[in-house]
Amino acid sequence: MQQSIRGLSRRILPMLLPAAVLFSCIGCDQWTKSLATEHLRQAPAMSFLGGTVRIQYAENPGAFLGAGSQLDPSARFAILVVVNAVFLVLIASLVFFKRPAGRVQHLAVVLLLAGGIGNLIDRLFHGGLVIDFLNVGIGPVRTGIFNVADMAIMAGFGILILYRGASADTSATSGTGDRLPMGDRSPTDDRSEIADAPTSPPIGD
């Protein structure tokens, strides 16, 4: 009985943190979109920090930052709803069943999944539209209008990029080895290696 409980806990406990991050991100995304719909739909754009941050309501028919908004509605539904839903199911199976190696990589995939689900909920319940309300930039250099789900997606991609870069640097460093270059080796080093090398027994023995 105790062994079965321990085995069950070992399977469930690793899923608790990803599930908490997932549902927290989705809940925050949907809550902020509900506030934006209620308070910003008829309101003018508001600027903060000298215009660095702007809050304005927008309904996005396309993908991230409006990509694909010019597509035919049927094609847009097929790509942004059907294909996206299948892709998110695959990511969910990766998160909760296969679990990517490394906690950092696992967290990144969970953030991607949370952002994708948050925007997919919008498309299903708002006629294919996604609610956006945030815009940042300095002067004429600005982002498109985005939401919390987009922030989760960008954070996930950013973590994966940094993780890959750190892994590549670690591999390159560990692959150099501890041996000195030939130009820096002294004859004493070579003689010590020869002295320490195993010798073969005489043929006669």
User: Per-residue pLDDT for 138 more than 80?
Assistant: yes
Which sequence spans correspond to the domains of the chain?
33-163
Of 122, 150, 196, 205, the catalytic one is 150
User: Per-residue pLDDT for 194 more than 50?
Assistant: no
* 204: three-class secondary structure by DSSP: coil
Q: Is 177 left (phi over 0), alpha (psi -120 to 50) or beta?
A: left
Q: Is 19 left (phi over 0), alpha (psi -120 to 50) or beta?
A: alpha
pLDDT above 90 as % of the chain: 44
Task: Read off the pLDDT of each residue in 182-196 and give the average, rounded to a whole number.
Answer: 51
Task: Read off the pLDDT of each residue in 175-186 and give the average, rounded to a whole number.
Answer: 52
Q: Which string of DSSP letters, residue by residue, matches 75-133?
A: HHHIIIIIIHHHHHHHHHHIIIII--SSHHHHHHHHHHHHHHHHHHHHHHHTTT-EEEE
Q: How many CB atoms lie within 10 A of CB 151?
A: 17
Please indicate whether residue 178 is annotated as part of the active site. no
pLDDT higher at 79 or 163: 79
Please indicate whether residue 150 is annotated as part of the active site. yes
Q: Which of 66-70, 109-113, 194-198 has the lowest mean pLDDT?
A: 194-198
pTM for this entry? 0.73
User: Per-residue pLDDT for 160 more than 70?
Assistant: yes
User: Per-residue pLDDT for 40 more than 50?
Assistant: yes
Confidence grade of residue 205 (pLDDT, cut at 50, 70, 90): very low
pLDDT higher at 168 or 113: 113
Q: What's the whole-number average pLDDT of the chain?
A: 80
Q: Which of 40-44, 137-141, 162-166 has the lowest mean pLDDT?
A: 162-166
User: Per-residue pLDDT for 149 more than 60?
Assistant: yes
User: Per-residue pLDDT for 68 more than 50?
Assistant: yes
Burial class of residue 102 (count of CB atoms within 10 Å of its CB; 0-12, 13-18, 19+): exposed
Task: Read off the pLDDT of each residue in 51-74 and give the average, rounded to a whole number.
Answer: 82
Of 29, 72, 122, 132, the catalytic one is 132
CB 80, CB 68: distance < 8 Å: yes
H/E element holding 194?
Answer: helix 187-196
